[in-house]
Amino acid sequence: MNLLVTGAAGFIGSSYVRGLLADGAADITVLDKLTYAGTLTNLPLGHPRLEFVQGDICDAALVDKLMSGADQVVHFAAESHVDRSIQGAAAFVRTNVLGTQTLLDAALRHRVGPFVHVSTDEVYGSTETGAWPEDRPLRPTSPYAASKASSDLIALSYHRTHGLDVRVTRCSNNYGPHQFPEKIVPLFVTNLLDGRKVPLYGDGRNVRDWLHVEDHCLGVDLVRTKGRPGEVYNLGGGTELSNRELTGLLLAACGAGWDRVEYVEDRKGHDLRYCVDWSKARTELGYRPRHDFTSGLAETVAWYRDHREWWEPLKRGAGLR
Ligand code: NAD
């Protein structure tokens, strides 16, 4: 079985591939453009069941060639940082929308499936209370979330219109090793390890649900292997924290105090709270996060402490230090 995995030089896709190479029997082809967010240091290059192809998911000829040799697809590739989408949305629309459509067209031509489209809880928009089930109408706020909602709906349309075996996951915030150090957990940890301040948006009351990246990957693989065509599965972690609470935990883990926090102007259109109801994945697929948040976060902080050689060049390259 040949599995085409897009975007697997990034945070979540690389965790998924490392997990499958350790456990599974699939041959894996990774297609990744190696944008600022992708790095080959995330992948076990040279593994006999892994082929890496550098390329763009918008490149129809390349995508067609790779799809002709694939049996299934897991699609992670995306522009993924909300702040960057506020500064400029073009790359988000191009990669997240056009890139996904390019992959879907090729999958349709070669009848490749399941095609797992990795979406996000941000497509639902903000809610002060309760948890969203999968049939809640999408009301994305940021250009990132809107581009993900577009690709999510286009993916589902290929199932409804063409009968392609498309499955969609909508997951909450991931934490863990190998996350590009512009996102809150690795940015704060690496700043603190360097004795620097951390920038907290607004009053820090925005709430997110946190999930260990390996649990997200477990959920994605359950959807690939046990999910139903045309279905959406929410994947959550069950640990809701305000950004202020998360900051307090990261400060404590790094032995730093609140004097290291710099309050910065809030993100434009900052959604207050996301929360998904993931009972469908639990009852239908047996999905259950395995990582306890407290130990998962401690292990994550330790990983960044022990892997300066991984994040220092990335931060330097992105002008983050
Ligand atoms: P990431 O930014 O770490 O990695 C994205 C990868 O995609 C990079 O390796 C990059 O090089 C590649 N890529 C970007 N544009 C490309 C293109 N045009 N062609 C080929 N490759 C391209 O992102 P991540 O955090 O690993 O997120 C992976 C997926 O999961 C995304 O679709 C994201 O929307 C979704 N998601 C992320 C989270 C989270 O908390 N990080 C939560 C829910 C869903």
Residues 101 and 200 in one domain: no
Q: Is residue 275 part of a domain?
A: no
CA of 77 to the centre of ligand 1 (A): 5
For residue 301, name the pLDDT band (cuts at 50, 70, 90).
very high
Of the candidates 144, 175, 274, 304, the residue annotated as catalytic is: 144
pLDDT score, position 198: 96
Residues 151 and 203 in one domain: no
270 has a pLDDT exceeding 90: no
Residues 126 and 8 in one domain: yes
Q: Is residue 274 part of a domain?
A: no
Q: Is residue 287 part of a domain?
A: no
Q: Is residue 307 part of a domain?
A: yes
Per-residue pLDDT tens digits for 20-52: 999 877 999 999 999 999 999 999 999 999 999
Cα 200 off chain centre by: 21
For residue 320, name the pLDDT band (cuts at 50, 70, 90).
confident
The structure tokens 């992708």 sit at: 38
Give the max Cα distance, the chain: 57
Q: Is residue 310 part of a domain?
A: yes
CA of 289 to the centre of ligand 1 (A): 21
279 has a pLDDT exceeding 90: yes
Per-residue pLDDT, averaged over 278-291, amounts to: 98
64: domain CATH number is 3.40.50.720
Q: Is residue 286 part of a domain?
A: no
Per-residue pLDDT, averaged over 240-262, amounts to: 96
Residues 58 and 76 in one domain: yes
Residues 165 and 218 in one domain: yes
Structural domain harbouring 248? 181-208+239-269+293-318
DSSP state of 127: -
Verify whether residue 231 is a known catalytic residue.
Answer: no
For residue 269, name the pLDDT band (cuts at 50, 70, 90).
confident
Contact 157, 117 (CB under 8 A): no
Verify whether residue 144 is a known catalytic residue.
Answer: yes
Instruction: List Cβ neighbours of 124 (8 Å cut-off, separation of 6 or more).
Output: 132, 136, 138, 139, 140, 170, 274, 276
301: domain CATH number is 3.90.25.10
For residue 14, name the pLDDT band (cuts at 50, 70, 90).
very high
- Of 120-124, 182-186, 202-206, 249-253, the poorest mean pLDDT is in 202-206
pLDDT score, position 23: 85
Domain count, the chain: 2
User: Which protein residue has the closest C-alpha to ligand 1 atom 19?
Assistant: 56
271 has a pLDDT exceeding 90: no
Residues 42 and 87 in one domain: yes
pLDDT score, position 211: 97
- Please give the helix or strand (H or E) that residue 3 lies within, else none: strand 2-6
Q: Is residue 104 part of a domain?
A: yes
Q: Are β-strands 173-175 and 207-212 bridged in parallel, bridged antiparallel, or unpaired? A: parallel
Residues 200 and 128 in one domain: no
pLDDT score, position 266: 84
124 has a pLDDT exceeding 80: yes
Per-residue pLDDT, averaged over 155-178, amounts to: 98
Residues 132 and 189 in one domain: no
Bridge partners (DSSP) of residue 200 are 263
Verify whether residue 122 is a known catalytic residue.
Answer: yes
CA of 95 to the centre of ligand 1 (A): 10
pLDDT score, position 272: 87
Residues 187 and 308 in one domain: yes
Q: How far apart are CA 240 and CA 207, in angstroms?
A: 7
Residues 93 and 64 in one domain: yes
